[in-house]
Amino acid sequence: METKHGFHLMEMVEFADWLNACQVNRVIQLIQNHHTYLPDYNHFNGRNHFDRLLSMKNYHMVNNGWSNIAQTFTTFPDGRIAVCRPLNEVPVGIKGHNSKAICIEHFGNFDAGKDVMSPEHAETIIQLNALLCLRFSLEANTSHIVYHHWFDLNNGLRLNGKGVTKSCPGTAFFGGNKVEDAEAGFIPLIKARIDALRGTSTGNTDISVQKIYKQGIVLAPSLNVRRGPGLGFAVSASLTAGSVVNIYEEQSGWYKISGGNDWVSGRYIAIVRKARVEASRLNIRSGPSGSFSSLGSLHRNDEVLVYESLGDWSRIDINEKWVASRFLRFD
């Protein structure tokens, strides 16, 4: 654990122990998931956690007039987590829904076409939500795990994204920011993690983190998650197209996607590789050559997921979005 400016920065294993030891004197019934929007991945260099947190705290106190930084926790692209407010202190997250809430800010902009969430970040977000559900005896569902997008900004009423809302935590956050997106692409991952934690814990919620050796994207409109590697196993959940999955094991064309016993058919998964942009500005093209039209650009240290390579070009999206491979550094 590192401490600076009143923030405590931890690895997830440290955080699990810290959370178990906390004495919480208020009722917790809601886990809010937000994204910072700004700052985003471009503002993170792997070393400036405390600088970014202090900047957010100053903005919240000076510009918004709040007594402290808004969020209880902040998760970072490298998978680390910061405790920002004491758990016994009410956060400032969603109007009218803070007194019994924990507010989580996920560092980045997860609107479609913006930051591509790193595998480490996705792992921490899933683990954090699962640990909080276990710690406060909450069922993993969209009554207890919520997105800012579902609430009206003016009056705090829950309108499920149909009122005056932010896109927060992002239109591409685990497949989307709507209630049905969370139920299809986020909640099943948290449920699977809770099952894994319960099955491997020894009196607390701490588990050893299994090694992720691949990452994939769901291609099918709806993909069943099964309790084992085959069609004969029961269906436990489903994932929607575009959902990011971490792959821990492979058996006969099936991928294990959680620390528990959750499997999907590899036929409907596109394996991707993580890479980082090394050019100051890198054009995105509509095809694998410089003669195709420009669709925008990336900048140095932006992270991308590479779906396929063709000659000297790499496709970085399910759709036709290509960049020159020589300007990428693969992890």
CATH 3.40.80.10 residue window(s) in the chain: 2-199
- Written as six digits, the tokens of 47 are 């070393």
pLDDT at 125: 97
CB 237 within 8 A of CB 190: no
pLDDT tens-digit readout, 138-183: 999 999 999 999 999 988 999 988 888 899 999 999 999 999 999 9
CA distance 91 to 59: 15
Instruction: For the domain covering 278-330, report its CATH number.
Output: 2.30.30.40
Dihedral sign from CA coordinates of 286, 288, 292, 296 = positive
CA distance 228 to 225: 9
CATH 2.30.30.40 residue window(s) in the chain: 217-270, 278-330
**The domain defined by 2-199 carries CATH number 3.40.80.10:** yes
CB 125 within 8 A of CB 193: no
Amino acid at 249: E
Average pLDDT over residues 249-256: 92
Strands 81-83 and 73-75: antiparallel
Residue scoring higher pLDDT (215 or 278): 278
Query: How high is the mean pLDDT of the chain?
Result: 89
pLDDT at 173: 96
Q: Helix, strand or coil for residue 281?
A: strand
Backbone region of residue 323 per phi and psi (left: phi > 0; alpha: psi in -120 to 50; beta: other values): beta
pLDDT tens-digit readout, 289-308: 999 999 999 998 887 888 88
DSSP string, 84-114: -S-TTS---SSTT--TTEEEEEESS--STTS
What pTM was computed for the model?
Answer: 0.64
Nearest CA-CA partner of 218 in 315, 307, 280? 307
What is the edge-to-edge ordering of all strands in the sheet holding 254-256? 235-240, 222-226, 263-265, 254-256, 249-251
Residue scoring higher pLDDT (303 or 260): 303
CA distance 180 to 16: 29
pLDDT tens-digit readout, 183-215: 999 999 999 999 888 874 433 333 334 555 677
CA distance 141 to 149: 16
Which CATH number is correct for 217-270, 2.30.30.40, 3.40.190.10, 3.30.365.10, 3.40.980.10? 2.30.30.40
pLDDT tens-digit readout, 129-140: 999 999 998 999
